[in-house]
Amino acid sequence: MSCLACALAALTIPAAHANPLAGADLANGRALHDSKRCAACHIDKTAHDEAGFYQRPDRKVKTLSDLQRQVGLCNSQLRLELFPDDERDIAAYLNTAFYKLDK
């Protein structure tokens, strides 16, 4: 491998650990979350509270990548027609408002 190839490979290592939600638009994420009626499915039925659903102890989402993947899954299964940037914005909003994940 050439020195240039080594240098380029070294640059990609930190990117693999970078925040996948960096640069997201939180206001757009919240607006999409509300307009797509995400809380209609994601609400704690006993407490009538979406925070209770997102913050429950047995949640599946443990990392930012899990969160982004879950938003993508909802998008595809429900045919919400969101763009990848929209998915990122929703995931970032959810993380800021509820999950508070750092990796």
Structure confidence at residue 57 (pLDDT): 80
Long-range pairs of 32-38 with CB within 8 A, sequence gap ≥ 24: 32/82, 32/86, 32/89, 32/90, 32/93, 33/90, 33/93, 33/94, 36/80, 36/82, 38/74, 38/90
pLDDT at position 60 is: 85
In this predicted structure, what is the pLDDT of residue 2? Answer: 57
- The confidence score (pLDDT) of residue 46 equals 62
pLDDT at 66 over 90: yes
Is the confidence at residue 81, as pLDDT, over 50? Answer: yes
Q: Which residue has the higher pLDDT, 88 or 20?
A: 88
Q: How do residues 5-62 score in pLDDT, each as one tens digit?
A: 555 555 544 444 578 898 999 999 999 999 998 877 766 566 566 666 777 788 889 9
